[in-house]
Amino acid sequence: MAEVIWGLATSHVPSIGAAMDRGKTEDPYWKPLFDGYRPAREWMAEHRPDVAVIVYNDHANAVGLEMVPTFAIGTADSYRVADEGFGRRAVPDVVGHPELSLHLVEQLVDEGFDLTVCQELDVDHGLTVPLSIFCPEPGDAWPCAVVPVLVNVIQYPQPTAARCYALGQAIGRAIAGFPDDLKVAVFGTGGMSHQLAGSRAGYINPTFDHMYLEAIQADPEKLAALTREEYIDQAGSEGIELIMWLVMRGAMNPEITKVHSTYHVPASNTAAALALFDNRVPRPA
Amino acid sequence: MTAEGRPGAQENYVFDLATSRRGYRMNKLFGSLGDPANRERFTAGEAAYCQEFGLTAEQQQAVLDRDWQAMLDLGGSIFYVFKLAMMDKRSMQYLGGVFTGMTEEEFMAALKAGGRIRG
């Protein structure tokens, strides 16, 4: 049977990927962020999943405003890295896991989550930057297959935090019911507090961010109860991306163990964080 | 619900459906700039390209003038507006400075100092 082995919450700021692609991770601006990633990266390298379910949002690249699915899932054999206007990132294309995708679609629709199905999807920094944070040097291929799950966080009304959490719980049940032996990692991406437009551009709320980093492990129900207006007010218009962390959290066990977390300001216009959680029952020391 | 109905909506620039409807053609133009061939056509004749996409006169003027604030006010989504900014080799920090009355350097310094913290 398939099993969720760990969950990773991480920002997906495009400049984090650009810093890696351009060899700037040792620059004074970037070094603290990448130093903060190190323990998590080492642990993840020792706990390789077969598949990563990556919950993210597209940023005007593969999804236009003609049709905006609230929730969507990729079912393809592979996903091309998107050209976001400055050429494709020099990272491998993403290999899919259509069997798990199809299983998830059936189970989730039966549970009342009517996801849009994508047979073809270019994946932008929302997905590839978290993959690079997980695996900085993939070589010719990423170390695992990927099932992309998309959430609309750009156009109001975004789905509620509670709905995201419930979707995650349904994903967790569906993964547990997948007949093959698969080790699965779940990524919740985006955040933390940031706002790109308007007079509040550059807004950061470290108090809210630190609360969120604690509660995502110990009290996700509290975060699921926040309204989208509270997310926008507290975390900024783009900080509402944090609702995607709740999809990851919902797919994990009620009790999880923190492996590592780190928080840094700024990555471009954003407060950046990473939190890695082991989903397996803690064994007595 | 209108944008005016929510406290703080103006300063928060909530991209709601009314805004998305208002800015639809302009955002579609920005989205088209992901294609290198379209970027070439846009550069060759910006006004004609705007007319092809059916922008309002105000939207077209905002695009031609690179009036970033006006583009937002006329229904632009920051993720779409940024496609045009990238063509001009402008960063998100530059835009942040425009929206807050700072230079790009001042805006970057504010972020490095911890951001424009709620207070």
- Tens of pLDDT along A168-213? 999 999 999 999 999 999 999 999 999 999 999 999 999 999 999 9
Domain ranges of chain A: 3-278
Q: Tokens representing A204?
A: 């950061």
Question: Which residue in the set B8, B10, B100 is minimally distant from A201, CB to CB?
Answer: B100
| A125 among known catalytic residues | yes
Provide the 8-state DSSP code for A35: H
Q: What residue ranges in A61-212 does DSSP mark as E strands?
A: 71-74, 78-79, 94-95, 116-118, 145-151, 183-189, 203-204
Task: Give chain B's domains with CATH numbers.
Answer: 3-88 (1.10.700.10), 89-119 (no CATH)
Contacts of A205 (CB under 8 A, 6+ apart): A193, A234, A235, A236, A239, A271, B117, B118
**Nearest residue of chain A to residue B69 (CA atoms):** A198
B21 touches chain A (CB under 8 A): no
* Contact criterion met (CB below 8 Å) for A152 and A70: yes
**Exposed, middle or buried by CB within 10 Å (0-12, 13-18, 19+), for A179?**
exposed
Query: In chain B, which residues have their Cβ closer than 8 Å to the Cβ of A193?
Result: 115
Q: What is the pLDDT of residue A134?
A: 98
CATH fold of A3-278 = Protocatechuate 4,5-dioxygenase; Chain B (3.40.830)
Q: Which residue in chain A has the smallest CA separation from B117?
A: A204
**How far, rounded to the nearest angstrom, does the alpha carbon of residue A95 sit from its chain's CA centroid?**
17
Q: Are the beta carbons of A233 and B114 separated by less than 8 Å? A: no
Q: Which residues of A140-174 are buried (b: 16+ CB within 10 A; e: fewer)?
A: eebebbbbbbbbbbbbbebbbbbbbbbbbbbbbeb
- Are B111 and A204 within 8 A, CB to CB? yes
CB contact under 8 A, A65 and B116: no
This model of the complex carries an ipTM of 0.94
Q: Which residues pair with A260 in a beta bridge?
A: A276
Confidence (pTM): 0.95
Specify whether A210 is catalytic. no
In the three-class reduction of DSSP (H, G, I as helix; E, B as strand; rest coil), residue A155 is classed as: coil
What's residue B119's pLDDT? 43
CB contact under 8 A, B72 and A197: yes
> Which of A66, A86, A154 is opposite residue B77, by nearest beta carbon?
A154
Other beta carbons less than 10 A from residue A9's beta carbon: 29
Residue B92 has its nearest CB partner, among A85, A196, A198, at A196
Distance from CA of B91 to the nearest CA of A (A): 9
Amino acid at A152: N
Contact status of A157 with chain B (Cβ, < 8 Å)? yes
- Touching check for B105 and chain A: CB below 8 Å? no
Active-site residue (options: A12, A97, A125, A260): A125
CA–CA–CA angle A45, A47, A52 (5° rounding): 90
Residue among B17, B72, B95 whose CB faces A156 most closely? B17
Catalytic residue among A12, A103, A194, A260: A194
Residues lower than pLDDT 70 in chain B: 1-12, 118-119
Instruction: Write out residues 28-87 of A within 8 Å (CB-CB) of B.
Output: 29, 59-61, 64-66, 83-86
Question: Do B118 and A207 lie within an 8 Å CB cutoff?
Answer: yes
Residue B12: predicted pLDDT = 67
**For residues A157 and A218, is the Cβ–Cβ distance under 8 A?**
no
Residues whose CB is less than 8 angstroms from the CB of residue B41 and which lie 6 or more positions away in sequence, other chains included:
B49
Nearest residue in chain B measured CA to CA from A153? B15
Q: Is A198's Cβ below 8 Å from some Cβ in B?
A: yes
**Which parts of chain A register pLDDT below 50?**
none
For residue B14, what pLDDT is reported?
87
Q: Do B111 and A268 touch (CB under 8 A)?
A: yes
Contact A163, A231 (CB under 8 A): no
Dig out the tokens for A143 from the structure.
């170390």
Give the minimum alpha-carbon distance from A83 to chain B in angstroms, rounded to a whole number. 7
